[in-house]
Structure 1
Amino acid sequence: CGSFVLFSFTAEFVKTLITEELSSCNIVLPCKLDHPMDVVDEMVEWSRSDLNPRFVHVWRSGEDHLVGQNPSYKNRTSVSTEKLKTGDVSLKITKVRLSDEGTYRCFIPGLNFYVFLEADIEITEVSPGVLECKSKGWYPEPEVFWLENKGKIISAGSKEMLRGPDDLYVLSSRLTLEKGHSNNITCRIQQNNQYREAKIHVPG
């Protein structure tokens, strides 16, 4: 079984792996700085606020520091020393389980850099010819793009960005379809070179 790179880590995905008897699969939760730099000597914390203890993996002083690691992740997590040299602190989790579902926080205290890794996105036709794309669970603030079926970017439409009580962004964007637009429309939410998409077919 190969490795999977995930931006959004959902229960449905893990359940699919298990029912297909692929529980030995590995996943990679991506997290990297916008500008490459060596963070081998920085502290890197991966955590889940719904766990006690909350730490999934900690890197400190050039090595793994797993004293306070949640026992459910014992011997299943790692970061790449080579990738840390370029600012990539992505976390590899092996032998995924249904209990691995959750919102993961990637945090580098010395740089005050952090990313949350869970986001939901949906697209609906709220009125004839008007599409709405909603998404939540983002940090930092993401970008939104509307695309036609061949990947051509069309008008971004209106956009509203709110900060929720958990400090994560909630986004809403509307697009009014015009003559010549494809019937197959995609809403793409993008952040730090990672993105999620939702698609809709609008009958002609």
Structure 2
Amino acid sequence: MASLGQILFWSIISIIIILAGAIALIIGFGISGRHSITVTTVASAGNIGEDGILSCTFEPDIKLSDIVIQWLKEGVLGLVHEFKEGKDELSEQDEMFRGRTAVFADQVIVGNASLRLKNVQLTDAGTYKCYIITSKGKGNANLEYKTGAFSMPEVNVDYNASSETLRCEAPRWFPQPTVVWASQVDQGANFSEVSNTSFELNSENVTMKVVSVLYNVTINNTYSCMIENDIAKATGDIKVTESEIKRRSHLQLLNSKASLCVSSFFAISWALLPLSPYLMLK
């Protein structure tokens, strides 16, 4: 006959087994309720020396405290950025990103995990991972981030030249781009023999100023100065008539949906310009 101690011992063991089974069921139900959530990123590019955005969105969660956002970079031991329990958690942030990152905290609740990267550097280029955990589940997506320099070109009539000339300038590009001129009237024409392009290194010894000059231009025509590298493509258009100048500039990041377009219109009476006759476009 079992003693009272043995009865108590086996009773406790039975209770432990029952509780363990109940806990296992609870955990099982919790895990079965989780799934892989959709996380979406968009390849983008950063303009060195300026602020950039690494885009990432996910399925929203109604509780901000349940959302964890982690940004990681391939080849970097520490985290790029972490956001959890409604605030930044930067104790494990890598030194190279210290003081340079931020999420849009007020937009996390609606599924925006995009990262703002301040003062973009060439070394920021690489493969990033946006990793998300919510009460619904977890998911991640990679993002290829390129870095370089790109700027909007401006095309003007070169009044200091000895012939009918256009001058295209863009202040910051890297890597070194190609420059091609085109004409609306002379479509398909090769202007390489009547143009000259130079690259001037800027003071930080990385980016370069682009200057391209087109000679022998004609009036009542639209010319385009196209600057392109593997990150961005920019176009500066100019239309010159006897009474006005119209300009338009457009910049597009390659392999990205981002673009910027600026147009301008200048009505100028050529007769009022203090120019010598040989500087007039004919």
TM-score range, shorter chain: 0.3 to 0.5
Q: Tell me the TM-score normalized by structure 1.
A: 0.46
Q: Which has the higher contact order (CA 8 A, sep 6+)?
A: 1
Q: Where is the helix percentage greater, Structure 1 or Structure 2? A: 2
